[in-house]
Structure 1
Amino acid sequence: MQELSKAREQNLRGLALFAIISRFREVDSEMPVQQMLCLVWVANNEGKSQKELRDSLGMASSTASRNLNALADYHRLGKPGLGLVEMADDFRDRRQKVVRLTPKGRTLMNEVLNYVIAEAPSSLRKVESEILFKEQRRPA
């Protein structure tokens, strides 16, 4: 039963992660996971530098720039950026850029956080009860 409980917990966590990724994909249906990681990092580290993001996420400079630009105003594929983050010169070192959420980015991250805190537990409990129901009906 312990293994079943652990498997159920992993399943529920996977469903929650899927729901969060789906919300990001509503903003951009082709948003890569690296951009999602950058966005979440910026939300948790506003005002820190692009270099700190690179170091923290283990990204190459070009990868971080490409993903942040797509989250900001410029996408390298010629389409507009998402307008979720902004980059500004670091007043301590003009060679560096600091990153922050835009109001649009803050709204999105608040929606995701509200889902995780409020909605996910109830919807996941529903899924969990459905799993339990199926397990109880399964022949031994």
Structure 2
Amino acid sequence: MTDQDLSREITDIDMAKLAEAIEHFRILDKEIPAQVIACFLYIASHDDCNKIDMEKALKFSSASGSRNTDWLGAFHRLNKPGLGLIVKYRDRTNRRRQVLQLSPKGRILVQELRQILYPKN
């Protein structure tokens, strides 16, 4: 085995899985910011959450919360296509509150991430 071969040997399988999961996001957008990934993971773990709760939990400003959820939604800045991973809608009981929910595409991504991080033996 050469020195080059040793540098390719996985020394921590859990970190390798996490790196693979992050690369899965980069397939969708090669320059995806960590804040967008954090936002998606919050929504995935609190599906049907409200935007204000997400902003508080992630310590985002309202503007940052909007920017990140727009990126994950149908359209992001300047009406560019978003990733389509979430749906935003107004709460029926409080029209000022936005609710965040995984889209079908977002649910598929969650399943793919689970397969990477927690494969069935």
Q: Which residue of 2 aligns with 1:35?
A: 36
Residues 17, 116 of structure 2: 8 Å contact kept: no
In the alignment, residue 35 of structure 1 is paired with which amino acid?
V
Change (3 A) 1:77 1:19: farther
Residues 74, 84 of structure 2: 8 Å contact kept: yes
Report the Cα distance in structure 2 between the residues aligned to 1:77 and 1:33, rounded to whole angstroms. Answer: 21
For residues 6-21 of structure 1, what are the structure 2 equivalents within 5 Å?
11-21=12-22
Structure 1 gaps, min length 5: 1-9, 123-140
> Which has more radius of gyration?
1
In the alignment, residue 59 of structure 2 is paired with which amino acid?
G
Report the Cα distance in structure 2 between the residues aligned to 1:69 and 1:78, rounded to whole angstroms. Answer: 10
Q: Which residue of 2 aligns with 1:60?
A: 61
Q: Which residue of 2 aligns with 1:135?
A: none
Percent of aligned positions with the same letter in both sequences? 32
Report the Cα distance in structure 2 between the residues aligned to 1:72 and 1:78, rounded to whole angstroms. Answer: 11
Q: Normalized per residue, which structure has more helix? A: 1
Structure 2 gaps, min length 5: 1-10
Report the Cα distance in structure 1 between the residues aligned to 2:93 and 2:19, rounded to whole angstroms. Answer: 39
Q: Which residue of 1 aligns with 2:84?
A: 83
Please state whether the residue corresponding to 1:88 is helix, strand or coil.
strand
TM-score w.r.t. the length of structure 2 is 0.84
Q: How many residues align?
A: 111
Q: Does 1:95 align with 2:89?
A: no
In the alignment, residue 112 of structure 1 is paired with which amino acid?
L
Please report how far the alpha carbon of residue 31 of structure 1 lies from its aligned counterpart in structure 2 after TM superposition.
1.0
Report the Cα distance in structure 2 between the residues aligned to 1:56 and 1:33, rounded to whole angstroms. Answer: 15
Please state whether the residue corresponding to 1:82 is helix, strand or coil.
coil
